[in-house]
Amino acid sequence: MIQIDARGKACPEPVIMTKNALADNPDAVAVRVDNVPAAQNVSRFFESKGYKAVVSGEGKDFTVTGARDGSAPAPESCGCDLVPSARLKNAVFIAHSRIGGDDPQLGEVLMKAFLGTLVQYDENERPSVIALMNEGVTLAEQGTSSAETLRDYVARGGTVLVCGTCLKHFGLMEKVGVGIVSNMFEIVSTLLACNTLSL
């Protein structure tokens, strides 16, 4: 079994180290990480590549073991594999909590209207992924109207990726109301696989 120590590594290094370890299709890889988001990200990556992921540990010391479970590997897609490649058409990348210039109230109103309008599009037109980074992660904070709108988007089949590094920076890791706590590798892979609109 390949052993990887990714403790102390900043996002997205644990996932990239895992990806590199899987290059030769080993039967099993164990990755040590020091936080819950890293454990979740590595687990999802293992599963996207056809490995069964098992997480053990607690506190700040986790081991994520990925082992072939006898089933066929997952088909190759965008590299993040959160959404089937056939569905990856359009994405929206949001790095701000509001749209526009100097008027914060108008900017918040515009962002709410933008998200609400996105949700109303039918499945064939609606973006398959919304990625939130920097101040954009505040839109996923529980108890906000924007999080309610994003929950509606997810209920209609969309995926919301929320930058874990950004959540940690803003002290919102425990206050996420919607979406998948993600990492730079996953977000970049997804956006590169899509036609992306950036706000």
- 77-121 pLDDT, tens digit each: 434 444 445 456 899 999 999 998 889 899 999 999 999 999 998
pLDDT for 72: 44
The beta strand positions in the chain, using DSSP E, are 2-5, 28-33, 51-58, 61-68, 90-94, 129-132, 159-163, 180-182, 195-198
pLDDT for 100: 86
Mean pLDDT, range 17-39, rounded to an integer: 92
Check pLDDT > 90 for residue 62: yes
Check pLDDT > 90 for residue 60: no
Task: Determine the angle formed by the axes of helices 104-120 and 145-155, rounding to 10 degrees.
Answer: 20
The DSSP secondary-structure symbol of 176 reads B
pTM (2 decimals)? 0.76
Mean pLDDT, range 125-145, rounded to an integer: 95
Check pLDDT > 90 for residue 138: yes
Instruction: Sheet containing 195-198: give its strands across.
Output: 180-182, 159-163, 129-132, 90-94, 195-198
Mean pLDDT across the chain: 88
Structural domains of the chain, ranges and CATH numbers in brackets: 2-67 (3.30.110.40), 90-198 (3.40.1260.10)
User: What's the N-to-C CA distance of the chain in angstroms?
Assistant: 43
